[in-house]
Chain A
């Protein structure tokens, strides 16, 4: 088979990059919690789906613009994040695996609750421009994907500035380096961890809202997003926003080309294969620092 170059490097690549930007945003919540609190939040995908539903209901019940609905959904995600952190996460953070297990429990709770509340019917948010595209030369750019990409990259850039320039951002980074030393420097570790958890759930919620604009979703779709986030996290290494963006793009490209050449059924296999090879070759991520031997 011969594929025209403009398909291979035009439409496919653009689509892959647009998708990849969203994957970066999908991951950043998981990466933040993992970096700052050393917690692998298995229920991460459920927060994304919850964000998707919240935006969906706000826009369909109140009739507001879908993008505004995503903004209005922020306090809801933040509240949920606060409650979850308060009840489930705080106090079980001593070992790395107790939080993993309790977040597994959380996954069950959230998935079951969403199934009970909203059934398993697939939903999606339809906007006035859902079917619209812009032509740039031979390439079609779906407006909705462009918006999702632009929003994702903007949020990640703002987050990067926040983490590197503000006092609070620096404190978060200090904790992710070494929480005990940070505590001796007078940084209120627990408060900042709470803040980070809430911030992460908000970011997951926003990415869920964007997902709802692009795809149809169901309560059981959470783990799929969790695994995608794992891949990006493994590519990025811990505590590295440019790495997360690059990781998201690589995943988007790998998936798009993978499903183009191997068939869409193997789309996820490509992602997981990338992840496993990476973990073995570069345990600290493609863009993460060199492994330090801990004695």
Chain B
């Protein structure tokens, strides 16, 4: 517990001091921004994919809807950060729309969410084939956006931490483990899954909004791209599902491997990356936390948050 608190404090301190250390180096700040967005997405995906075990392959839709709402609301003259929050709200709306799919069995849920996200993407592309430009707001630039995204990251981290110790987690995990038995214990599976999906959606929508504002240009093809589903999913599965530390560790491993490959094997980086992912799933199907921390290093399960 103590060690965890210190670690968390150090992490937040580093997170917040990056713009100062970088001293106006745009590359570092942008990299920090993108990394934070990915980690938010991983933690948000984990709320559904990790705790409830429902493989949401339509996560990108939350992100895209967030970015799009931002674009439309700044177009209407609304303050960009309010537009970003509106993006989170829009994602909650999408989550409600998606929630009937939560009644489906796991693999059908995967098919349904993937198709829903693709349908939304195609529909949006049909309206705005070339994307929307966003006007920058005086005084809200790269550094401010970085702090905004850090705040969202801390919020989703804190939410996961609280979730980890809540009854909600008991409900979600028990449904994941044995739906019939959970139901017999007085738990309504659909209700709790919907709660998880909406929580996951709101953070992803906000992340999409701030990402869009930072980019100042929102091409539908990009913000609705399936990579916003796949990358968080890989991060969570590499680290370990249904914990706070799993997705965090997974994110660092993922981003580390990805960028190293990108700089060394530029031409074939995607190919090499696919191989790495496949190998990780083959040899550590339950993620780093389970395989390395619990089985090899024999760290007690309860001490992992």
Contact = CB atoms under 8 A, between A and B. Distances in A.
Contacts of A101: 233-234, 237, 277, 281
A104 B230 contact: yes
Given A102-B278, A116-B268, A280 B100 contact: yes
Contact of B180 (A34, A273, A294): A294
Given A223-B226, A279-B104, A91 B282 contact: yes
Interface in A93-109: 94-98, 100-102, 104-109
Given A234-B111, A279-B111, A295 B101 contact: no
B122 A266 contact: yes
B115 interface: yes
A173 B112 CA distance: 26
Given A100-B55, A275-B111, A283 B278 contact: no
A40 B281 CA distance: 15
Contact of A104 (B104, B111, B118, B277): B277
B10 interface: no
A292 B33 CA distance: 47
A96 B125 CA distance: 32
A186 interface: no
A268 interface: yes
Contact of B277 (A102, A223, A231, A275): A102
A273 B281 contact: no
B119 A269 contact: yes
Given A91-B282, A105-B278, A231 B271 contact: no
Nearest to A264: B126
A108 B280 CA distance: 14
A154 interface: no
Contacts of A95: 285
A272 B119 contact: yes
Interface of B: 53, 55, 100-101, 103-108, 110-112, 114-116, 118-119, 122-123, 125-126, 180, 226, 230, 233-234, 237, 267-268, 270-271, 273-275, 277-278, 281-282, 285
B112 A92 contact: no
A230 B114 contact: yes
Contacts of B282: 88, 91-92, 102
B101 A112 contact: no
Classify the interface of chain B: helix, strand, loop or mixed: helix
Given A105-B281, A279-B108, 7 more contacts: A92-B282, A97-B106, A98-B237, A105-B277, A116-B271, A265-B122, A294-B180
Contact of A40 (B101, B110, B230, B233): B110
Nearest to B267: A116
A109 B282 CA distance: 15
A108 B270 CA distance: 7
B285 A94 contact: yes
Contacts of B275: 105, 109
B126 A265 contact: yes
A48 interface: no
A275 B126 contact: no
A107 B274 contact: yes
A159 interface: no
A40 B113 CA distance: 14
Interface residues of A, number: 44
A108 B274 contact: yes
A157 interface: no
Nearest to A270: B119
Interface string A95-133: 111101110111111011100100000000000000000
A69 interface: no
A295 to B, nearest CB: 5
Contacts of A140: none
A227 B114 contact: yes
B108 A283 contact: yes
Contacts of B226: 223
B123 A269 contact: yes
Given A106-B278, A108-B277, A265-B126, A272 B115 contact: yes
A249 interface: no
A116 B266 CA distance: 12
A98 B285 contact: yes
B122 A275 contact: no
B65 to A, nearest CB: 16
A276 interface: yes
A111 B267 CA distance: 13
A36 interface: no
A283 to B, nearest CB: 5
Contact of B107 (A96, A109, A269): A96
Contacts of B125: 265
Nearest to A111: B270
A88 B282 CA distance: 7
Contacts of B274: 105-109, 112
A233 interface: yes
Contacts of B271: 108-109, 112-113, 116
